Structure 1
Amino acid sequence: MFSLTQVIGVSGMAKRELAPFMIAFVVAEMFYKLGSFALECLAFLATWYLLSYAFHGLVRRDRG
């Protein structure tokens, strides 16, 4: 995370990751009731990763 912030900056990271982060946060809050903080945290991070991957693919496709 620190390295990513150093490479693209805080504003660049916010532009790129804010939407996938917020969607993953809402999904995790609403649906992930696994009974363990560690499992819920891993599920949230996996959801964020997949949404970020999908958003990045959509943006790349829109740009040509």
Structure 2
Amino acid sequence: MFSLAQTIGVSGMAKRELVPFMIAFVIAEMFYKLGSFALECLEFLATWYLLSYAFDGLFRRGRGRG
């Protein structure tokens, strides 16, 4: 996380990750009820990673057309 903030800056990181983070947070809050903080945290991080990957792919594809 620190390396990413140093590379693209805090504002750039917020622009890239805020939407996937918020969606992953809502999904985790609504659906991940395992009774174990560690497992729920891992599921949240995996969801955030997958959403970030998907948004990055959509962003690149959309930017390539213009």
Assess same fold via TM > 0.5. yes
Structure 2 gap segments, 5+ residues each: none
- TM-score, normalization by structure 2: 0.96
Counterpart of 1:9 in structure 2 is: 9
Gaps of 5+ in 1: none
3-state SS of paired residue (1:26): helix
1:25 aligns with 2:25: yes
Cα RMSD between the aligned structures? 0.3
TM-score when scaled to structure 1? 0.99
Q: Secondary structure at the match of 1:47?
A: helix
How many corresponding residue pairs? 64
The 4+ residue runs of structure 1 with deviation greater than 3 A are none
Q: Which amino acid aligns with 2:44?
A: F
